[in-house]
Amino acid sequence: MLYSMHEIVQVLGDAFLITSTWRMCQYATHDQQPLRPGFYFVLWPQRINSPCYDESAHFVGPLPSKISAEKLKTSASALGLISPHSASDETLSD
């Protein structure tokens, strides 16, 4: 499956994350379980026009650092799993 949108986010707790544009947002998962704190590489399928942090998002993580998430993003790109466009070009700091 080719994912058209992707982003690196930082999960803070049971219901909130910080986006790459420094917005705090609530999130939801398909199994309704909270994510563990850490960095996540978030993917959205091609059919999504406007990404939301809900059941349509695929959260990969938690990763121990933003650097680890960036390496995963690089690998996904090299394997052709993601398109070159992301949800945002801005980044989070560790």
Span 52-89, pLDDT tens digits: 888 888 899 999 999 999 999 999 888 888 876 555 44
Q: What is the pLDDT of residue 3?
A: 58
Strand residues in the chain grouped as ranges (E): 3-11, 16-18, 24-26, 38-45, 58-63
What is the rounded distance in angstroms from the CA atom of residue 34 to the CA atom of residue 14? 5
Give residue-wise pLDDT tens across range 5-14.
889 999 998 8
Burial tier of 24 (Cβ tally within 10 Å: 0-12, 13-18, 19+): exposed
Strands of 3-11's sheet in order across: 24-26, 16-18, 3-11, 38-45, 58-63
